[in-house]
Structure 1
Amino acid sequence: MKKISLTLLLILFTYGVFSQKRQPMDESRFTNEWVKVVELEKKSLPQSAAAVVDTILRMAVEDENSPQIIKALIHQGKYELTIDEQNDTVLFRNLHNMLEKSSDVVERAVLHSMLGELYMKYYQKDQWQIRQRTELRGFIPDDMKEWTRNIFFDRVVEHLEASLADRKQLEAATVSTYAAVVEEGKDSRRFYPSMYDFLARRAIEQYGHLMGDEDLSRTLARKQITPESLFAAAENYVQLPFNPQPGEYNLMLFESYRKLMASLMERGLHHSLLLEELNKLESLVVLQQAYRLYALPSLEAMLGKWEGDPFSVEIIDRIAAVRQEEIYRIPGERDSLRDERTKELYLFLKQAIENHPGYDRIALLVNRLSALTAPQLSLSGNNTFPTDGVKKLTVTSKNLRTLTARLYRIDSPVDVQLHQSGVRQNLNNRRSFVREIPVNLPDTPPYMEGVTAMEVTLTEPGSYMLTFDSQPETNDSEQPTYFFTLSDLATFSRVAGENLHHFFVVDRVTGKPVANAEIVLYKQTGNW
């Protein structure tokens, strides 16, 4: 009953809200009520939160506060979906009612944008089931629960395109008008001041979820657009003839980038334009082969235009990401090439940080440099050594000044097994300290791994563990621990019948059987 009355309230008052001129509003009242909503959400009380939202909706209607009405409707729909999943189309009806009554260009654009997003979210929520349906052409069922994928996608495109139709008026409207429903980042108003910017970026976000039936490369070929041209500079990219036709969903993302970039270019918002060029470039990773060929040259061309400007840090950050990916793809047998490329990246980042220390986002590069030079430690070697001879381990490290190993003897091999299986976390009371072993580390640059051999002198059979202390400490939550065994014996077994196993004990070096050997069997409790 409550839902019906609220919907009627909305229908009765919407026309007045959108047709009259806005009066100055006291937003503090709404702020206090939204704080209550947040607290109730944290307590997982959707019905109580919905009651507060109902109050906000009535207040917003009385004040003719369109942004607050839209925000309340969005939340109302969310709670109705939480409380009653069978009634999850109410929000669509409410927003469509508002759209029919509104004559304000900006309000209509916001409503279209929200409807486009909601249709996409509805599809994503039930996409597995929706994708099983045979697509319908030329007919749209009245019940949205019977729609097919193409109908949802067409509605998404319809509303997102409608949200951007009145470009000039939206460019003249500021984002601050809709602060109640516009979620902005720290610098959004600085780089994207107009409602057109906000709505275009919302459209780009939603179009990123649209997947066409046809491979993107084939669609581009049919348009006579080469993959390389997608990586072109902004002034060339905005000339590309995407001209998406019905059903060409995979072009909508790139067409939206084209329209937004053209708008930013005309308004002389060069910093904003660069950010969108970088975002567009990142979206092209779906063209994997083309991305590997053209992404880095495109970024380097951008850097050439912005060389010396602190804002070039944004480009340098993306270049570093691409170069790091290239390093990861270098085959293991080409160590010298990997070291060379890593050195180049290290010097590139270091120089950029020195050139632009005061840039407000220089932490982007500082963090990349820190990741590149993060202290690391790993060990490899045998799990079992004979009592005679050298026990040698291989230590691989990066950016460590000192490394010390501590050798312990473990009371029982069972303790080692339980520890490694996660049953027993702490071995402090089941081990005996033997000695410390300094590890001589190779002198390598902070970005490069070094390899050294570590020798352990032992002759007494048993189970052992090595722990490590390094300066600086590695970023791992725990320093690596290495377990090994000293023994001249080896065992193996075979199944000889039901409940019958044969065990063999042999000399580890010669392979000769060991007579009168004693074998102890342990039962490990637990659900294995």
Structure 2
Amino acid sequence: MFNASWKKITSLEEKGLTASAQKEVETVMAMAAKNQDAPQEIKAIIYLMKYRNMVEEDAMVKNIRWVDSLLTGKKAPVKNVLQSILADMYNQYFQMNRYRLMNRGRAQVEDSLDIQTWSANALIEKAAILFQSSLENSKNLQQISIRDWEPILITGQNSRNLRPSLYDFLAFRAFDFFQDEVSGISRPAEKVLIREDGAFAAAPAFAQITFPQNRPDAFHQQALMIIQELIRFHLNDKEPDALLDADLSRLDFVRRVAVITDKEKKYEQALLDIEQRYQRHPSAARARSLRAGIYIERGRKYHPSNNPAPQFELRKALELCDETIRLYPGTEGAKACQNLKADILNPGLNLSTEQVNIPEQPFRTYLKYQNITKLYVRVIPVSKAEWQKLEEKNYELRWSEMSRLRPTREWQIDLPNLSDYQEHAIEFKNDALPAGMYIQLVSRNPDFSPGNNVMASQLIQVSSIAYINDQKNLHYIIHRETGKPLGGAILSVWNQEYNYQTRSREEKLYGRFTADDDGKVMISGLPKNRAYSIDIKWKKEELFGMNQEYATYYNSYEPSGKSSRTFFFTDRSIYRPGQTVYVKGIVIDTDRQDRSLRKNHQTSIQLLDANGQKAGQLQVTTNAFGSFQGSFVLPENQLTGQFSILDSSNQSSVSIQVEEYKRPAFFVSIDKPAAAYRMNDSITVKGKAMAYAGNSISNAQVTYRVIRKSVMPLWRPYDSFAGAWKGMPWHTEEAEVANGQSVTDATGNFDILFKAIPDESIPQSAEPVFHYEVIADVTDMNGETRSNQIMIPVSWHMFAIRIDIPEQAHPDSIPKTRIFTRNLQDTHIPAKLTLGIYALESPGRFVRTRYWDAPDQFIMGKEDFIRHFPHDPYQQEDNPVQWKQGEKIFELTDSSKIDGQFNIPARSWKDGWYVLKAVSTDNNGMKLSSEKIIRVRGGKTLLATDAHESLLQNQEALPGEYAQHSIQTSFDEVWVLYGMVRPVNDSSVVLRQIKKDKSLLVPIAVSEKDRGGISASYAFMKFNRLFSGTEYLPVKWSNKDLKVSVETYRDKTLPGSQEEWTISIKGPKADQQAA
């Protein structure tokens, strides 16, 4: 009936006659409404909204108003579809304007017509109501075939079987909205509502479950109700397509949001049940593809050292996909498996080298690879100009041209193949190269053709030149291997300018500068904040600075000018509209380290509302103490949210919150259990509800839940050398282990009882500690709800062992080692301990830190590797935690004491690395242990593993005193750049030479001008590594120490007497001070 009209409309649109097309659509809409042709009427409405979007401003707002006006008088199914469309429009408006809405509070009177004034909550709540309303008259909607609505639908393969009715179509739109956590971002957390194991039950059983509806407005609860109704609707379908689609959507949703113990296992088992129940139906393939996805997720968490368990999960997924493709060819599930298979088998290469390597020395390349067994390598010499031209080309052309460049060397590498489809890493050797610039190119194919290939490249410079620069355009040019200054080196400075004729950036030489005998070059005269790059030439070598630097006139040795700041103080942090905000401020002037009060300063203090508009203003003048005070009355009937108070003279500000909140009538307290508990113990938590007036809240409804939140490796030592917890690769999901309701007694007390259920996926041998969050919501007879929560740590063991000794220890400090045995409540538990001290077998050589992760596969033998790379780790020799344990040096069994003393006798200790291991057994027969790695040094010589040592012999100093800074190295010779930063006059940077076993001793004379502190910084280069550090010497403002005391007095013999408060302020010499 309407085909001719729509053809005419399409023709008008193609000719750009939008107005004519709109009139034709209006005719179709009127005719469809008259004939009660719901699909055509909805299609016409959609077209009219499209035209408005094309020609009008604020089209979405106008469309929302228009569609809302159309609802009046409409009947099902047109009304249901319009409600769904309108709900989605409200949600889209929120998503598009979310960045503006999230800091906007709810207005006291929201304009029901102008949605541009609405809060985020109001928009989302409106969308939720409309989505719920779109599912009314569900029985009628279920009888309407989706085929009747194809004029407004974009259909996919098998979509009619998956969404056979209009109800399916509308219900899934609502389900998608309610399951989306982003939609409910401004609402309370709701995933705790889905905590019943039945959420993973088979479809027939799930359809019969009555889920609690204690919060019917909760989004996740609404989503669960919708999907449950869909499953009920399709339970008796002849073809299970729609049922399985809804059921799999349900399982995925529950898996994401439920707080249920072992939900991953339950999800996997639910998929297996579907596969078995419908193994002869094509839809079973989709369940199999989802199960393969589980294995892929696990496999992606594989790490060769931190999490090796899921190494072969990808292979398991691949086998399942291959079987699914074979058993269910051509199905959606088989197609999904094809995509998963392609993802598993996708090859990958990633290349890393040090940016600059030393000439005529072999160097390493770090290669990460996946699904590749043979690698082809080329090293290609290039000039700086050639590389810059390559960078300007597009991606495909750049690879094509690189593959055609002539290499100076090429070879191939057989990569270890573990058949696990995981990413692995190796280091391979590059033979020594002369100074220059090179591209390292690696390829899966021997011809290096970009088509159907996997390639990676890395730009490498080979040069002895290095430089250190500071923030004032000062550069020190040094030797990359020895650290010696390179006097006579020439530094060229290049500016980048845009050539409008060639439409490209060009480098122009700004100037050349020659380094003095100390390698120092000062670049002067550069335009401020102008980008530049540098090249350095020394003898026949060059170093090209590939990264831009910026010229600046900031100088830590020069005054930076005065600045002013206002420190605000308000009487509260949160207010209600109409309340008075009392504000005080102190204005401080800062001139480098010198600070002073700003007296008699006139300024304007402004109150800004949630939209940044001025809502009030004060003119104030600071007093003799640099302070002022004033007050603002907050506006009413405006948007609430974050307000701010601003000093217009220096832009200092403070934020306050303005909300329509209700003053609480009572509070909830929860007592933390004093006893220590073990896993699977029953734990009783006591709480109390008390009114602020002092009376108990009796007969109040208590709703509680207990969530196992996390696992913390408190029993394992923190590896400060590697920056990680040792031996803890496991991760635990949050799970709700208990929930229920109770009632407060006559005294306001209530009890919560739960069992400390562990995560069985983490073995007891790992000695984990689980945290159980107990949350209690108490609602009194007036409907007011108050909440509180506590965290209770629980473990398998009755106590933990902690060894207390510095990591850098003197031999005399070993007898002072303290060993504590305490439970999770930090209470001493007496225990018998055995302490063993073992030597660690260090590499016996200095080992550089890698710039990348350690490889997990090796293609070179250890001896061969060390011969070529004497300063690099083969495996993890740079981490003492990975060193082999040597002979036992000492052992003692004794009882732990409350103060930790362990009676280790004095003895001689060789300088070196040791591990202290303490073991014990608790009353339940559970073994536990702790260890601590220490470096012992008592002699004057550094260990071979030490690069250097920096010691400040004073913890703090006062004016008139002296301090001393010493730097020592284990290298034969280093050249150190040294400088001090003082509050007023900084010392210049100097170059000092340090020989092995000889210390650089720097005396530091502290003067009155040094109050605030002195920083001593140093830097040197050795073996292509920069070593640097800063020592800070605190110089306290002891002359400004104030002691403040408060006294109160009231004459109790005089009725009605007022309390007097006296505040006394005294200086460091007990003299009275004015403030």
1:62 aligns with 2:63: no
1:117 matched to which residue of 2? 88
Deviation at 1:524, TM superposition (A): 4.9
Q: Which amino acid aligns with 1:348?
A: L
1:493 aligns with 2:462: no
For the 8 Å contact 1:54–1:76, the answer to whether it is kept is: no
For the 8 Å contact 1:376–1:474, the answer to whether it is kept is: no
1:107 matched to which residue of 2? 78
For the 8 Å contact 1:171–1:197, the answer to whether it is kept is: yes
1:281 aligns with 2:255: no
Q: Which amino acid aligns with 1:200?
A: A
Between the aligned partners of 2:352 and 2:468, the Cα distance in structure 1 is 27
For the 8 Å contact 1:77–1:91, the answer to whether it is kept is: yes
Between the aligned partners of 1:360 and 1:335, the Cα distance in structure 2 is 33
Between the aligned partners of 2:332 and 2:404, the Cα distance in structure 1 is 52
Between the aligned partners of 1:245 and 1:138, the Cα distance in structure 2 is 25
1:254 matched to which residue of 2? 224
SS in 2 for 1:492: strand
Deviation at 1:147, TM superposition (A): 4.0
Deviations 1:181-217 (A, max 9, x none): 2333322212221111112112223334541622114
For the 8 Å contact 2:467–2:475, the answer to whether it is kept is: no
Deviation at 1:179, TM superposition (A): 1.9
2:284 matched to which residue of 1? 312
SS in 1 for 2:496: coil
For the 8 Å contact 1:394–1:451, the answer to whether it is kept is: yes
Choose from 203, 206, 228 the match for 2:197: 228
User: CA 1:369/1:431 → structure 2, altered by over 3 Å: closer, same or farther?
Assistant: closer
User: CA 1:195/1:423 → structure 2, altered by over 3 Å: closer, same or farther?
Assistant: closer
| 1:371-450 correspondence to structure 2 within 5 Å | 371-400=343-372, 402-412=374-384, 416=387, 433-445=407-419, 447-449=421-423
1:203 aligns with 2:174: yes
User: CA 1:466/1:126 → structure 2, altered by over 3 Å: closer, same or farther?
Assistant: closer
User: CA 1:90/1:416 → structure 2, altered by over 3 Å: closer, same or farther?
Assistant: closer
User: CA 1:29/1:248 → structure 2, altered by over 3 Å: closer, same or farther?
Assistant: same
For the 8 Å contact 2:468–2:476, the answer to whether it is kept is: yes
Q: Which has the larger radius of gyration?
A: 2
Between the aligned partners of 2:10 and 2:40, the Cα distance in structure 1 is 10
SS in 2 for 1:214: coil
Deviation at 1:466, TM superposition (A): 1.9
User: CA 1:250/1:476 → structure 2, altered by over 3 Å: closer, same or farther?
Assistant: farther
| 1:162-201 correspondence to structure 2 within 5 Å | 162-201=133-172
User: CA 1:156/1:170 → structure 2, altered by over 3 Å: closer, same or farther?
Assistant: same
Between the aligned partners of 2:394 and 2:30, the Cα distance in structure 1 is 61
For the 8 Å contact 1:197–1:260, the answer to whether it is kept is: yes
For the 8 Å contact 1:116–1:160, the answer to whether it is kept is: yes
User: CA 1:51/1:433 → structure 2, altered by over 3 Å: closer, same or farther?
Assistant: same
For the 8 Å contact 1:459–1:486, the answer to whether it is kept is: yes
Deviation at 1:480, TM superposition (A): 0.7
Q: Which amino acid aligns with 1:375?
A: P
| 1:212-361 correspondence to structure 2 within 5 Å | 213-218=187-192, 220=193, 226-238=195-207, 239-243=209-213, 247-284=217-254, 286-287=256-257, 290=260, 292=264, 294-307=266-279, 309-334=281-306, 336-359=308-331, 361=333
For the 8 Å contact 2:2–2:28, the answer to whether it is kept is: no
TM-score (norm 1): 0.78
2:715 matched to which residue of 1? none
SS in 1 for 2:455: coil
User: CA 1:79/1:124 → structure 2, altered by over 3 Å: closer, same or farther?
Assistant: farther
User: CA 1:122/1:411 → structure 2, altered by over 3 Å: closer, same or farther?
Assistant: closer
Deviation at 1:314, TM superposition (A): 0.5
Deviations 1:323-350 (A, max 9, x none): 2222223445146423222222222222
User: CA 1:419/1:108 → structure 2, altered by over 3 Å: closer, same or farther?
Assistant: same
Greater relative contact order (Cα < 8 A, sep 6+): 1
Q: Which moved more, 1:345-354 or 1:25-34?
A: 25-34
1:157 aligns with 2:157: no
Between the aligned partners of 1:319 and 1:300, the Cα distance in structure 2 is 8
User: CA 1:431/1:491 → structure 2, altered by over 3 Å: closer, same or farther?
Assistant: farther
1:30 matched to which residue of 2? 6
For the 8 Å contact 1:407–1:464, the answer to whether it is kept is: yes
Between the aligned partners of 1:384 and 1:420, the Cα distance in structure 2 is 19
Deviation at 1:523, TM superposition (A): 1.5
User: CA 1:275/1:138 → structure 2, altered by over 3 Å: closer, same or farther?
Assistant: farther
For the 8 Å contact 1:117–1:156, the answer to whether it is kept is: yes
For the 8 Å contact 2:301–2:307, the answer to whether it is kept is: no
For the 8 Å contact 2:244–2:283, the answer to whether it is kept is: no
For the 8 Å contact 1:175–1:182, the answer to whether it is kept is: no
Q: Which amino acid aligns with 1:347?
A: E
1:18 matched to which residue of 2? none
For the 8 Å contact 2:312–2:420, the answer to whether it is kept is: no
Deviations 1:208-265 (A, max 9, x none): 45416221144x1xxxx52533333222332232547563344222211111111111
User: Aligned pair count?
Assistant: 485
User: CA 1:471/1:285 → structure 2, altered by over 3 Å: closer, same or farther?
Assistant: farther
SS in 2 for 1:482: strand
Between the aligned partners of 2:58 and 2:72, the Cα distance in structure 1 is 25
Deviations 1:69-90 (A, max 9, x none): 3222223234335533356555
Choose from 467, 477, 491 the match for 1:503: 477
Between the aligned partners of 2:226 and 2:43, the Cα distance in structure 1 is 25
For the 8 Å contact 1:391–1:455, the answer to whether it is kept is: yes
1:481 matched to which residue of 2? 457
SS in 2 for 1:362: helix
Between the aligned partners of 1:477 and 1:55, the Cα distance in structure 2 is 54
Identity between Structure 1 and Structure 2 (%): 17
User: CA 1:445/1:430 → structure 2, altered by over 3 Å: closer, same or farther?
Assistant: closer
Between the aligned partners of 1:70 and 1:309, the Cα distance in structure 2 is 36
Deviation at 1:464, TM superposition (A): 1.9
1:74 aligns with 2:46: yes
User: CA 1:351/1:87 → structure 2, altered by over 3 Å: closer, same or farther?
Assistant: closer
1:13 matched to which residue of 2? none
| 1:140-151 correspondence to structure 2 within 5 Å | 141-151=112-122
Choose from 322, 334, 337 the match for 1:365: 337
Where does structure 1 lack aligned partners over 5 or more consecutive residues?
Answer: 1-24
Q: Which moved more, 1:371-380 or 1:288-297?
A: 288-297
Deviations 1:337-396 (A, max 9, x none): 232222222222222222223435522111111110112222334344444454343434
Between the aligned partners of 1:463 and 1:87, the Cα distance in structure 2 is 57
For the 8 Å contact 1:441–1:450, the answer to whether it is kept is: no
**C-alpha RMSD of the superposition:** 3.8
SS in 1 for 2:235: helix
SS in 1 for 2:222: helix
Deviation at 1:430, TM superposition (A): 12
For the 8 Å contact 2:299–2:313, the answer to whether it is kept is: yes
